[in-house]
Chains A and B, each alone.
Chain A
């Protein structure tokens, strides 16, 4: 059961979109976020730092057969906060039964 909780850290537009994009797996590649959200590397890095500092996102640099890649993952706490924030938004608009 998700308790709707409005989260100011997540609600900022870019951070909300980052959390949404990162929710399509346990981790996504940094460049995938840049490409799918259409934002610059610097803006993405800046907003990721806010989410990392809040304990909502973790970054992992890993060399996978050749090129090093940075993986972005919602932490357990971050995923809960993101889901709770979505539930809060849906509650405000009166759509409690919307998708995750």
Chain B
């Protein structure tokens, strides 16, 4: 460990310093959380976009892409923190949630959707995407914020 005489003389109680770090991390993580209403709005936009794209009509696809673009803009405007934890644990957790909330419902939903006619097909597909996306985003954010707040991150794990 590297010290000099002055730093030892001037240093506050190191426990106080560590407590300040812990409190600041938790406060910053909490302040950077995406408000629930923003996530709901984002998922409604994404669900509407996905539903329009599921119509498989040129106009619907264009409108769907525009909605996805609007969702991207909303996300960029409201974000107060950049960077995600991308170590092995975080990637594994994300893949699990992605499979459970979006991939499996989409796969299973194919059998239901095939039996439906437009516009019900788009509505069901959009609803599945909106609900699945909402659950995925909330799970992911809760996980990321918990690890940031606890300082459970190594240098280089955040990209």
Contacts and interface: CB of A to CB of B under 8 A. Distances in A.
Interface of A: 2-6, 8, 11, 13, 16-18, 20-29, 31-33, 35-37, 64-66, 71, 73, 79-80, 83, 86, 88-93, 95, 98-100
Contacts of B30: 36
Contacts of B15: 93
Interface in B1-15: 1-4, 6-7, 10-12, 14-15
B141 interface: no
Contacts, number: 132
B77 A13 contact: no
A88 to B, nearest CB: 6
Interface stretch (B36-44, B113-121, B151-159): B151-159
Interface band, chain B? 35 or more
A8 B10 contact: yes
B81 A13 contact: no
Question: Interface of chain B, helix or strand or loop or mixed?
Answer: helix
22 contacts: A3-B1, A8-B4, A8-B10, A11-B10, A11-B11, A11-B12, A13-B12, A22-B28, A23-B148, A24-B28, A25-B158, A26-B158, A28-B81, A29-B80, A32-B28, A36-B31, A71-B82, A88-B2, A89-B21, A90-B18, A93-B18, A95-B18
Interface of B: 1-4, 6-7, 10-12, 14-15, 17-18, 20-25, 27-32, 73, 76-77, 80-84, 148-155, 158-159
